[in-house]
């Protein structure tokens, strides 16, 4: 597991990545699903990333949608039409 501390409360405002096998990813429930996204990693694995807040996650996802990246982040709780702009 990779974790990077940011400013704020240690328990809540940490941006971290967790890599799970495909089978484990089916039952994995992130601690903060409202600010967690996932994408395919290394063909069979899934990487989950938790952002420090939902706005930052939405902005990252919207920015990548403008490019032609094939392996994009997908929010665990879907974004509304106006989020991230």
Q: Which of helix, strand or coil describes residue 14?
A: strand
In a domain, 45, yes or no: yes
In a domain, 83, yes or no: no
Reported pTM: 0.79
In a domain, 35, yes or no: yes
Number of domains in the chain: 1
Q: Which element (helix H / strand E) includes 45? A: strand 45-50
β-pair partners for 29: none
pLDDT band, residue 79 (cuts 50/70/90): very high
The 10s digit of each residue's pLDDT in 14-56 is: 789 999 999 999 999 999 999 999 999 888 899 999 999 999 9
In a domain, 85, yes or no: no
Domain range enclosing 60: 2-75
Residue 7 per-residue DSSP state = S
């Amino acid at each position: 597991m990779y974790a990077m501390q940011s400013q704020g409360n240690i328990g809540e405002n940490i941006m971290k990545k967790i890599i799970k096998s495909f089978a484990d990813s089916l039952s994995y429930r992130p601690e903060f699903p409202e600010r967690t996204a996932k994408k395919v990693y290394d063909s069979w694995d899934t990487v989950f990333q938790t952002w420090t807040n939902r706005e930052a996650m939405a902005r990252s996802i919207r920015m990548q949608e403008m490019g032609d990246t094939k392996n994009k982040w997908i929010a665990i709780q879907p974004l509304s039409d106006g989020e991230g702009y």
